[in-house]
Structure 1
Amino acid sequence: MTDELRGHKVAFLATDGVERVELEQPRGALHGVGADTELLSLHDGEISARQMDIDPAGTFTVDRKVADASVGDYDALVLPGGTMNPDQLRMDPAAVAFVKAFMESGKPIATICHGPWTLAEANVLRGRRVTSWPSIRTDLRNAGAEVLDEEVVVDGRLISSRSPRDLPAFCNTVIDEFAKAMRPAWDPTVER
Structure 2
Amino acid sequence: MAIENAKALIIVNNWGIEETELTRPLRDLKAAGAKVTLAATELEPCETVQHDRYEGETLTPDAKLSDVQAADYDLLVVPGGTCNVDRLRVNEDAITLAQEFAHEGKPIAAICHGAWLLVNAGLMDGKTASPCRYIAADIENAGGHYVNEEVTVDDANGWRFITSRTPADLDAFVGAIKDTLA
TM category (shorter chain) comes to over 0.9
Give the TM-score normalised by structure 1: 0.89
- Name the aligned partner's letter for residue 181 of structure 2: F
Quote the residue 2:176 is aligned against: 173
Measured in 1, the distance between the counterparts of 2:19 and 2:54 equals 10
Quote how far apart the aligned CAs of 1:62 are. Answer: 1.1
- Cross-structure match for 1:149: 148
Q: Which amino acid aligns with 1:40?
A: A
The Cα shift of 1:27 comes to 1.4
Match of 1:101 in 2: 100
- The 1-side partners of 2:93 and 2:76 are apart by 15
Moved more, 110-119 or 97-106: 97-106
Structure 2 gaps of 5+ residues are none
User: Aligned residue for 2:32?
Assistant: 33
Which residue is equivalent to 1:50? 49
Letter of the 2:16 counterpart: G
* Percent pairwise identity: 37
Runs (4 or more) in structure 1 with deviation over 3 Å come to none
Q: CA deviation at 1:69?
A: 1.0
**1:174 aligned partner, one-letter code:** I
* 2:162 corresponds to 1:163: no
How far is 1:145 from its partner?
0.4
Would you say how many aligned residue pairs link Structure 1 and Structure 2?
A: 177
> Is the 8 Å Cα contact of residues 5 and 35 (structure 1) preserved in structure 2?
yes
Distance 2:174 2:69 in 1: 24
Deviation string 1:88-116 (CA, Å, 9 cap, x unpaired) is: 10111111111111111111111100000
Asked if 1 retains the 8 angstrom alpha-carbon contact of 2:2 and 2:181, the reply is no
Once the two structures are TM-superposed, the CA of residue 50 in structure 1 deviates from its matched residue by 0.4
2:8 counterpart of 1:10: yes
State the structure with more CA Rg: 1
Contact in 1 for aligned 2:128/2:147 (Cα 8 Å)? yes
Structure with greater proportional helix content? 2
- How much has 1:171 moved relative to structure 2? 1.1
1:60 Cα deviation from its structure 2 partner: 1.1
- Measured after TM superposition, the shift of residue 32 of structure 1 is 2.1
Q: Give the TM-score normalised by structure 2.
A: 0.94
- The residue that corresponds to 1:90 in the other structure is 89
Q: 2:6·2:181 contact (CA, 8 Å) conserved in 1?
A: no
Q: Is the 8 A contact 1:67 1:94 kept in 2?
A: yes
5 Å matches for 1:122-137? 122-137=121-136
Question: Shift of residue 4 of structure 1?
Answer: 3.7
1:138-172 CA distances to partner (integer Å, 9 max, x unpaired)?
Answer: 01111110111100000011110000001111111
